Structure 1
Amino acid sequence: MLRSCRIINILSRHLSQFSKSKMTEDSIKALKRPADDSHAETEHEDKKLKTDQDEKKYPKKKVALLMAYSGKGYYGMQRNAKNSQFRTIEDELVTALIRAGCIPEGHGDDMKKMSFQRCARTDKGVSAAGQVVSLKLWMIENVLDKINAHLPSHIRILGYKRVTGGFNSKNNCDARTYSYMLPTVSFSPKDYNQEDTSFRVNSETLQKVNHLFGLYKGTHNFHNFTSQKGPRDPSAKRYITHMSCGEPFVRQEAEFAVITVRGQSFMMHQIRKMIGLVIAVVKGYVDEGVIERSWGEEKVDIPKAPGLGLVLERVHFDRYNKRFGGDGIHETLEWTEEEEAIAAFKDKHIYPSIVETELLEKSMVNWMATLYIHDFEATAGNQERKDDDEDGNASD
């Protein structure tokens, strides 16, 4: 009997230890077991459901946005998500689109996700009155007001239009029109006091200026009007349809004029060099024949006018309008209803900025003081590299 009791006690102790060991193992396994992810799955489903609901309420559509901006203080139009040190116009736009609820936040780091494209890159300090960008966004209510509410006053979205799914504002653009505002003392003789704000250009000089600008019309090899392109590079050939200087006007006691140029596309610095060369001819630094000579294979040292007065006025979509403008679904990309707002923006934000900055910083006056160092021959390499370092790599 005693022996049986001892056996029962031993078995009881072993069972107790086994039970404790089993509980410990189970506890450890329980601690090591992955957390219940049913909540995460539910949260993911909620987000997915929310996105689906947003898509139904605010479907994504491909649109063209009409932009106007003063480029003063910005490092051009194009955004560089990897380098936020240099603020650009697109940085402001993307921030506004996210805050307005037009695009997901993640699209700001990868603009391809919203099929973003700008019609023209503008250089450091260059303004625009008629820039067009294309992208996919959620068509929220009062979309323009909500985007503009998150933009500074010197950057505005003036209009938008629905476009085809395959529309690309750069590739579908047939031509671009730029203007360049400058003080008319730029057309004074080289021995004239360039800081004299009382200078007034006469009709004979203005006629000569327009004759010289007219020489640019047509297709020419503009390899000398940009950098890093040789004379046999096919992409250096560009087609200019119009270039002229308008009637002068007075602002803050100084006389200014606006040059207008339209072409299919322009290379980096091309417009500013076209203007710089004409100024050099009018002032008497070089003869008129240099313009035709610059289209040949030889290297010509061409001075580049300051970027301050350059403005992207308008972009043209003639072929797109002809093909889709009358299909009953899409609108033509002609911004006639926005012309009043465009003019008002230029009068308030672009022209005053150009005039005030020129009179204060004298960018044109200082640039003209360097014209004597140009010999208009094959010695432009060092100067071009210096210009590129100062201006960055954005195209006109």
Structure 2
Amino acid sequence: MLNYQSNPLQPVLPPPQLAPVSQEVNQRLSVHCNRCHDPIDVHQSSMPEVHHSRASMLLQQTCMLQETPPNGCLLGQLPPRGQKKLCMVDRLSGLPDEMLHHIISFLSAQEVARTCLLSKRWKELWTSAPCLDIRIDQFGNDRVRFSSFVENLLLFRAPTSLHAFRLHSFAIDRASYWMDHAIKHNVQVLEFAEYMRWEPFYLDPQLMAFKSRYLKRLKLINVTLESNVFEPLNHECQVLEDLLLLRCYLEVPQICSSSLRNLDIIDCSLLTNIVIRTPSLVSLRFRCLQHKCASCSRSSKATALVTLCDLPNAKIIDLSCSGIEVAFGRENPRHPMFGKLTSLSLGEWCLSNNLSGLVCFLRHSPVLEKLTLKLKVEPQDHNGTDEVCLREARSFSSEHLKKVTICCLEGDARTAMLDNMFCANVASLKEIHIRHY
């Protein structure tokens, strides 16, 4: 008999009965013998509910890893057809820790903790789980129960390294401390999301610091980032490769990580001008999720300036957010600023100042193949613009540009001017698409 009172997570865990596997999952866990081709029922209460297809597949495969019995059937003598007999043999627990950790990495943290009730083999296994996925919606947004669970989970967890830590919270100040706990345990993938209908979460520099030699991926949703919190990401996270900021408030003067390869700033509000100096960057996306997102509306009266320094390794750049203006800071005049750029998306800002932003990209992107222009505002006056723009266009040529797509409102007169400009200066151009919102 298990002593449920000795379970360290007893105050926050539900009763020790495991939830039954849903009919869909139960069907996925049906195993067939390779020799006799008869179905083998897996007892529903012998394992926690699994929602991920890969986890289900791994659980099925564990029934096939054992040595075939002498009688020719994988699990021994099967009952005659029409009779039901449950398989009570625990074959899953015989797998090595690494494989079991991989299986439970597809479960939520609450489900991972419940595995301690399966058997003695599983009693301590959950404490060294390398992946923790903690979401407040699984607690009905009950902040008291959720906080109690997370505190106990981290308290009784073994002092081993984390691979991934995903935390979805709702107005809980201790979330900064929980993220710092993951960073101090060498987490490689860190994700934090504040409840989207709530105000942005303030990352407290007194409770956490992005200082890690192991952090590779960081995803932040609905947070306020100040320079004193963000600055360590530039200089003290030397293996950081992927950074995604979604619906965040950014008071960050510069992003200058030497290791960063993918940078996504989506639906964010810039509270100050920003300089992007990331020589290893391969992909840069600075865009909105919708035709006119909330961040563009908030920043329409105070547009932020984004300065791009040399990005020699960038292959994909998306600067279609309409709440920004873009400037260029060239640091190495002997090489093109965007020497490897093949795909480019620009917003309304690129047509200001007689298309200076668009022309600058075309001049310094020698291998550009695909260009997309997302024009979201129809100007009221085009007088004299065509002649000036065509005169500016003569100063560039693009030998590899093959496809141009212009997204605009129906009736936007600028499409004709752009069509003439590209046809007159780009010999390699094969097609120009006009798409209306």
**TM-score of the aligned structures, taking structure 2 as reference length:** 0.17
Give the greater-gyration-radius structure (CA): 1
> Taking structure 1 as the reference length, what is the TM-score of the superposition?
0.19
Question: Bigger relative contact order, structure 1 or 2, given CA contacts below 8 A and separation 6+?
Answer: 1
Give the helix-richer structure, 1 or 2: 1
